[in-house]
Structure 1
């Protein structure tokens, strides 16, 4: 009788642990664009410059129980750039930089998500900018707050990989490394 009770207790405990692990899983979807941000920093003639993009669209399907099945995409309206001055904003839309007349958007499409533990993930995907597509790995931290998920990440782009800042701008006046920071907010599903 004791061995039967022990087996029942063990089975019950295993089932309870399985249920609690599933109960802890959270699904996030539908990026809240009003609460989300995309910004960037770079160096120009020794000064740190900060800027933002105000228009973008994001799509997210993320289940913490199955992050490997997650999908994320992002489309950025490059004409919505604010690099701190009207002159800079106008210059960045010209053919030497983003060439927004020919390439109005930058896009990111995830191809794989790896769980790094402790609410940290590595989202791999394809970034397309100026008609060029490059694979990127984006480390992301997920912060859960009051029924929403806040996905915070940063990556460094090499502007030469996308032919950004050609011609007279190809020298070292503007750093080759551009740091992109984002904060994507999504409610629980």
Structure 2
């Protein structure tokens, strides 16, 4: 019994020591978060100019998007999509995706699916985000995360009222991203 207590007492300080966890953060100046919808059958593109990504391999993917940074390269369109029928940026300024699990695809060590919830315009929906992870061979502290998925804007009450039918503006929204990532080392305590 004394040996057991001694072992616990000697191990306790080790449990409180800081440890390092691998974490990656987006380099926003080099990254892109794009979307594409159809307007009367023709593609029209936009992008979010302000967003951040935090990735902890085998643990968590967290994406935060400043919805007011949506840019469709037209001031009139940008003003319209900020309104209540669309993004309602006055009430819902941020969208977040937070993974609940990260799974490697069967035969690829660089293909993953982050399953989690997307919170957009006050609505939370389950979403799977497929992505390719490529670490820079010359600089192991850098990597690129890229991928593409399709969302239905109606799931998040985007384009309501006269816009909800999908006749003029399609319901499907293609989202693509190329995110340059930088390795970080955070001190964590248990």
> Which is richer in helix?
1
Question: Paired residue for 2:12?
Answer: none
RMSD across aligned positions (CA): 1.3
Alignment: residue pair count: 157
Q: CA deviation at 1:61?
A: 1.6
Matching residue within 156, 164, 169 for 1:162:
156
Q: CA deviation at 1:71?
A: 0.9
Q: CA deviation at 1:28?
A: 5.1
Question: Paired residue for 1:88?
Answer: 77
Asked which structure has the greater RCO (Cα within 8 Å, sep 6+), the reply is: 2
Are 1:184 and 2:175 counterparts? no
TM, length-normalised to structure 2: 0.79
Are 1:154 and 1:182, in contact at CA under 8 Å, matched by a contact in 2?
Answer: yes
Runs (4 or more) in structure 1 with deviation over 6 Å come to none
TM, length-normalised to structure 1: 0.79
Name which of structure 1's ranges 114-123 and 158-167 shifts more when overlaid on structure 2.
114-123
Q: Which runs of 5+ in 1 are unaligned?
A: 1-26
Matching residue within 122, 129, 133 for 2:124:
133
Q: Which runs of 5+ in 2 are unaligned?
A: 1-21, 185-190
Query: Using the alignment, how far apart are the partners of 1:149 and 1:82 within structure 2?
Result: 26
Name which of structure 1's ranges 149-158 and 179-188 shifts more when overlaid on structure 2.
179-188
